Amino acid sequence: MTSTIQSPWAPYVRVAKYLVLFAFVVVFLMPVYVVVVTALKPPGEVSVPGMWELPSAVSFDAFAAVLAKPEIQRGLLNSLLLAVPAATISAFLGAANGFVLSKWRFRGADAVFALLLFGMFIPYQAVLIPLTQFMTQIGLRGGLDPSGGLFGLILVHVVYGIPITTLIFRAYFAGIPDEVFDSARVDGAELLRTFRHIALPLAPPAFAVAIIWQFTSVWNDFLFGAVMTSTLGWPVTIGLNNIAAVQTIPFEQVMASSLIASLPTLLVYILLGRFFMKGLMAGALKG
């Protein structure tokens, strides 16, 4: 019988690890603390030297002032109209691609998958000029679009999201035994029926990963929103920039608007977090 001899330094090493992790948490939460504290201060107490000080009284004046701004109201609505369909559509397209590339293979499937993945490594700036010209020619950019460019921006984010969502679903479906889908083939189910009735019901964790990833990416986008949309279609990130880009910066309003703009992504994480962890544990981001 063998026994494991614990090192006398083991408790100290464990304490050191927790101290390091605690230090990282503190550093990470420092900006969050400043944002929340500044947003809750009365305007007269807001100053750069006093940004670490707690407010003498909690004030929601900054939130009221921000929510009354038309650019923030319109920006929040535009970002919702943009992020929800863009994330959903790209997730469903990625699910279809991932299913075919993992379970219904064809000649050249690996080459197609490699070409799709190549799109993940193309930076926005590299395609900005040709993309702008193309969207202008088809009438889906800025003032040419009755929605202010929202429809065109949705299309851009859907296309740009297909590589990552395809990777997520291909890795996820590859982890499901082939016998699950082979039995459907034996029963006479064609490709679309197998995908609809077997693959999709098994994929909520992968959908959670894909939708959270895409929703966060689309919601936080600034570059495409600034170039592809007009004033009518500006997302909330443009509104946040306009609040901060003034001669006298109202820090409390900037912080309050940042908190308001972060709530939708936080809500998505809260609602889909349970499935998100299942998707990660199932290998949805591996491969």
Which pLDDT does position 124 carry in this prediction?
A: 82
The domain locations on the chain are: 10-59, 64-281
The token duo for 20 is: 């390091």
Cβ of 204: how many Cβ atoms within 10 Å? Answer: 14
pLDDT classification of 282: cutoffs 50, 70, 90: low
The token duo for 285 is: 């981001």
Residue in this structure with the two tokens 């016998």, named with its chain if needed: 179
Tell which residue, 214, 202, 209, has the closest CA to residue 285: 209
pLDDT (mean) for 182-193: 78
Which pLDDT does position 1 carry in this prediction?
A: 46
CA distance 252 to 191: 55
Which pLDDT does position 191 carry in this prediction?
A: 80
Which pLDDT does position 285 carry in this prediction?
A: 46
64-281: which CATH topology?
Answer: MetI-like fold (1.10.3720)
What is the longest distance spanned by two Cα atoms in the chain?
Answer: 79
Of 21-30, 59-68, 77-86, 138-147, least confident by mean pLDDT is: 138-147
pLDDT in tens, 210-254: 999 999 999 999 999 989 888 888 999 998 888 876 666 788 888
Mean pLDDT of the chain: 85
What's the pTM? 0.84
